[in-house]
Structure 1
């Protein structure tokens, strides 16, 4: 992506049938901006973070993402930056291996299932090119009837335009894709317009090496009062270790030491995950919360990705669903004129919201199974895990894959 100032981006929208502002250059925002550019528009794309900000965590990306990758012509680049995930291993609360299964039997009929670092996915989505203004926030939005007037402010040393500049622009559509802790969502819905589910757990993401014999293996240990997972990416492994917040407050090294005391087997990927988190100087902290907005579309503004419905990582569907939603939204907008935008957004929400909520429910249900604190309940779960296949747990996810959303060829809307 080419770093530029907001005024230059605004000037480029002058001849567009739709003047679009995309707020947030994460997975959802970058996906929809690139899809709109493919359709001949010049959306203004802004990101509050500075260039080179930490890319965060690892993604096990389901085939929900494939239509976006194909539409942008970056499927091969994606494969080159990721690794195939073929196997899944579950460990008990003591670290004993309970079962190992083939993931590809469940997922491969629908497309790629691959591990990728979030930063590498963003680089892949950015590969077709385009412009971006970092260090930029939207500080005010006002509907004028026929448009939305947005006030954008650049700040900090990484901000395009020198920092501190205020720019006003008029748009036919604003896409708020600024994440789980969206700054725009309260402006649209008020403080009570979002329901947050807090599991009371959090943990740390770190990066570890890998064993060549396990570079296609996802491994998870569902403990009593802890969780550890290992997810291969190209050239390494992304790991997560976490537990109840009152226990993780002691710090990563002390928490890992407490986890080790509960384990009888710390071999392989589990041991590498614990070692990596304990040794990391400043591991990425991941609070395990999600959110659901009371509505997505307000006039000419629409929430997208985590800003609309944030996901717990337990089902591994959040990033893929964000990309799918971006694809569906871009398809609904294709061929629409400015007067039709509110109707288009309403149609998009009616179609996609039930599907996203179904995926979110799956993540929440798995969270109640994974995040157990008591040993007796964890022992019962171990027994069930040893006898119930992964296909049963992931059945709601495979149904989503088997029944993809209907994507309109042209905008379907009233005038």
Structure 2
């Protein structure tokens, strides 16, 4: 369970550690790192700018590459209890017609299981053994010397000065702390111009392990399994979605000639959620440098992902595991080298996965009936082995890190 803890209490515990670590951001990456460090005997100070962890967020499909860090953090059993097996994937064409069904496990089973989970459930699984967090707390200033990182943290109306051996910035795609480390020109942005809404609906036995996607001529619909529910994403160009979810869903339905009740329910869940549903802009960022002296970027703060390849959260968690192992093996003097080694090993893997996500996004984010028709024809002949090629390459090389 998450435990709201005063910053002073966390700072006091950290001072006795052989390595004093500050983690800024208690999202997926930051929480995974903090829990892995705690399992290794440290007391990292974990701060979060939000007031709590109440938001369920969105759905995640996690590849087997998350298994090592979940075991490292002592959260594997809780994760499996809160997630479901993602076994089948059904691809639909521009008019809703079924093109192909894939059994994903047939090519991933030797690595582990592909599982679906709500973001909020993943956070609870990671915090199952207890997770101290100082909420409503932000990093205000950062000054580094060869010996230490000196920071100023704001908790509510109070400020605290503290000294750490390592500072990890994991406060997301729109990180407010990243600018304290890197100039703006070292952070590039990719924006395909699309966005969409996230909604939830009840699942049933027939769809408990199945994901569906419709790639339309100017829209996208995805339905993904999580425990007891299904997460729905409906997106299109932001010029088109500006009319709101009800109007955009009506636009999609006008193009569908073959669609089953399951997908109609998914569209209705978005239309009924109205403007209160979470709107996800399909953008990402890439930081040219991750590690500077005793401070390092992690997760979306280092390299954010558009969700098209379903790999962003998994790569953030894998990165957290690699970073945790580097820090747990380091002494205070060796932190800069440990952070450099983490970046050297992990950044090429993450950027390769990010490139794959961007390529899929460019294929999906089009407003062309002709291209959609061509995609429908080609998709009938794409084997699962070819579709999962980049993912299998990442999994095959995971033992190297």
TM exceeding 0.5: yes
Match of 2:206 among 187, 208, 213: 213
Matches within 5 A, 1:185-224: 185-224=178-217
Equivalenced residue count is 399
Correspondent of 2:347 among 350, 353, 366: 353
SS in 2 for 1:192: helix
1:250 corresponds in structure 2 to 243
SS in 2 for 1:178: coil
- Which residue pairs with 1:160 in the alignment? none
Q: Distance in 2 between matches of 1:77 and 1:144?
A: 40
Moved more, 218-227 or 68-77: 68-77
* Residue 97 of structure 1 pairs with residue 98 of structure 2: yes
1:45 aligns with 2:46: yes
Listed one character per residue, the Cα deviations across residues 388-409 of structure 1 (whole Å, up to 9, x for unaligned) are: 12321220111111221434xx
TM-score normalised according to structure 1 size: 0.94
Instruction: Say if 2:221 is the partner of 1:228.
Output: yes
Match of 2:398 in 1: 404
Map of 1:157 onto structure 2:
none
Counterpart of 2:149 in structure 1 is 148
In 1, distance between residues paired with 2:269 and 2:385?
Answer: 30
CA distance in 2, matches of 1:55, 1:102: 28
Deviation at 1:149, TM superposition (A): 1.1
* Structure 2 counterpart of 1:293: 287
- Match of residue 316 from structure 2: 322
Q: 1:191: how far off?
A: 1.5
Q: Specify the alignment match of 1:369 in structure 2.
A: 363
State the match for 2:85 in structure 1: 84
Do 1:148 and 1:173's aligned partners in 2 also have CA atoms closer than 8 Å? yes
1:79-137 Cα deviation digits (max 9, x unpaired): 11111111110000010001111011121110121110000000001112131101111
The whole-number CA distance in structure 2 between the counterparts of 1:55 and 1:342 is: 36
Q: CA deviation at 1:73?
A: 2.6
Q: Gaps (5+ residues) in structure 2?
A: none
Q: Which runs of 5+ in 1 are unaligned?
A: 155-162, 408-415
> Are the equivalent residues in 2 in contact too, given 1:209–1:272 (CA < 8 A)?
no
What residue number does 2:76 align with? Answer: 75
Once the two structures are TM-superposed, the CA of residue 2 in structure 1 deviates from its matched residue by 1.5
Are the aligned partners of 1:219 and 1:269 in contact in 2 as well (CA < 8 Å)?
Answer: no
Secondary structure in 2 matching 1:280: helix
Structure 1 residue runs of 4 or more that deviate by more than 4 Å after TM superposition: none
| 1:2 counterpart = 2:3 | yes
The residue number in structure 2 matching 1:172 is: 165
Q: Matched residues in 1 for 2:203 and 2:128: separation?
A: 27
1:179-230 CA-to-partner distances (Å, cap 9, x unmatched) read 0111111221112111100010000000012232111111000011100000
CA RMSD in angstroms, aligned pairs only: 1.1
Give the TM-score normalised by the residue count of structure 2.
0.97
In structure 2, the partner of 1:158 is: none
Residues of 2 paired with 1:181 and 1:128: CA distance? 29
Q: Which moved more, 1:395-404 or 1:266-275?
A: 266-275
Q: Deviations over 1:224-245 (max 9, x none)?
A: 1100000011111000000000
Task: Show CA shifts across 1:246-297 (max 9, x none).
Answer: 0011111111111111111231332122111000141111000011001000
Q: In the alignment, what sits opposite 1:139?
A: 140
Q: State the alpha-carbon separation in 1 of the partners of residues 394 and 282 from structure 2.
A: 23
Match in the other structure for 1:159 = none
Q: Which residue of 1 aligns with 2:107?
A: 106
